[in-house]
């Protein structure tokens, strides 16, 4: 789990795709047998899941977004854990 070890770095699984659907003007996260239209917090969190940043680092980076300044590290870790549980994310060791 992402919160179990602070050095774990989340990354989108290879069979998942996060993309902007210009026809419907929205972001889409597509995975095996799942389709998600992420909210802003989820979108920015998932965009940061490149295998180079830990969950805590991703949470700290959200402070630069004025509309997300009330988001806590726990909020971000909850998003990461939920998407890991649903099979969208894997974690890499630092």
Containing structural domain, residue 69:
11-86
Q: Is residue 92 part of a domain?
A: no
As beta bridge partners, residue 21 has: 26
Residue 84 has pLDDT above 90, yes or no: yes
Q: What is the pLDDT of residue 56?
A: 87
Q: Is residue 5 part of a domain?
A: no
Q: Is residue 34 part of a domain?
A: yes
Which CATH number does the domain housing residue 79 bear?
Answer: 1.10.10.1150
Q: What is the pLDDT of residue 91?
A: 86
36-73 pLDDT tens trace: 999 999 999 999 999 999 888 998 898 888 888 888 88
Average pLDDT on 16-44 reads: 96
Q: What is the pLDDT of residue 83?
A: 95
Query: pTM (2 decimals)?
Result: 0.87
């Amino acid at each position: 789990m992402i919160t179990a070890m602070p050095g774990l770095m989340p990354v989108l699984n290879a069979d998942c795709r996060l993309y902007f659907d210009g026809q419907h003007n929205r972001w889409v996260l597509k995975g095996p047998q799942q389709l998600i239209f992420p909210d802003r917090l989820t979108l920015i969190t998932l965009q940061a899941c490149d295998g180079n940043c830990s969950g805590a680092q991703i949470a700290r980076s959200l402070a630069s977004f004025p509309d997300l300044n009330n988001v806590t590290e726990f909020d971000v870790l909850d998003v990461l854990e939920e998407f890991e549980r649903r099979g969208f994310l894997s974690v890499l060791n630092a």
